Chains A and B, each alone.
Chain A
Amino acid sequence: DADVTQTPRNRITKTGKRIMLECSQTKGHDRMYWYRQDPGLGLQLIYYSFDVKDINKGEISDGYSVSRQAQAKFSLSLESAIPNQTALYFCATSQGAGTEAFFGQGTRLTVV
């Protein structure tokens, strides 16, 4: 089945380290998103991309950067991780406007 795959699934890193979370999809969708989930705060948008040459900041982009290497790949980087970036991170994809988003399995990131 076509899917959205995130790697790694779990990661513990130290404060100040650079870390990359990767997302790949086989759904053929043009739009990709990175969300952060903290308990009780729902899903907050970090960055989104409508195609390979289009990258946009979401509501909580500070401290993060992204790269859309291909239509199927969208990576999220934390340049210098800090403890309050400890969270569950989801990648998602969608096709066009007015259609559902499909989520990856999530990456649980802990910054110590």
Chain B
Amino acid sequence: GENVEQHPSTLSVQEGDSAVIKCTYSDSASNYFPWYKQELGKRPQLIIDIRSNVGEKKDQRIAVTLNKTAKHFSLHITETQPEDSAVYFCAARPNYGQNFVFGPGTRLSVLP
């Protein structure tokens, strides 16, 4: 089955700096990779996703890159703000209808 690893487990950056979170997956059949943000006491919510036929996707300050050959994908947040402080989860999902497998999460702290 699929296994997703995520690094780092905690990340502190100064406001305005960039943050990068990396994930690796094991199942080459996985072709959908969402990223979720979970603020303290709230539910995880999708912030960006990417499919395996795309190498990069951007949405304002957030971008995700995917390297299918190496089986890793990364979340990039530029110009970080205090409201970016949260736990971020990556996930992988094979298209044949199996379930999401989540990484263990990264706690991002943006210091003012």
List chain A positions with a Cβ less than 8 A from chain B.
Answer: 33, 40-43, 45, 48, 50, 58, 90, 96-106
Within 70-99 of B, Cβ neighbours of A (below 8 Å) are at 89, 93, 95-97, 99
Indicate if the CB atoms of B89 and A43 lie closer than 8 Å. yes
Grouping DSSP codes into helix (H, G, I), strand (E, B) and loop, the A interface class, with mixed when no group exceeds half, is: loop
Q: 14 new A-B pairs (CB below 8 Å) besides A41-B104, A97-B95, A100-B34?
A: A40-B105, A42-B6, A43-B44, A43-B89, A50-B97, A58-B99, A90-B43, A97-B93, A97-B96, A98-B51, A100-B46, A103-B45, A105-B42, A105-B43
Given contacts A50-B97, A90-B44, contact A42 B34 (CB under 8 A): no
Select B49's contact among A33, A58, A100, beta carbons within 8 Å: A100
Within 43-66 of B, Cβ neighbours of A (below 8 Å) are at 43-46, 49, 51
A31 CA to B104 CA, complexed, in Å: 23
A106 CA to B9 CA, complexed, in Å: 22
In whole Å, how far is B22's beta carbon from the nearest beta carbon of chain A? Answer: 15
List chain B positions with a Cβ less than 8 A from chain A.
Answer: 6, 9, 31-32, 34, 42-46, 49, 51, 89, 93, 95-97, 99-100, 102-105
Indicate if the CB atoms of B99 and A45 lie closer than 8 Å. yes
A48 CA to B42 CA, complexed, in Å: 22
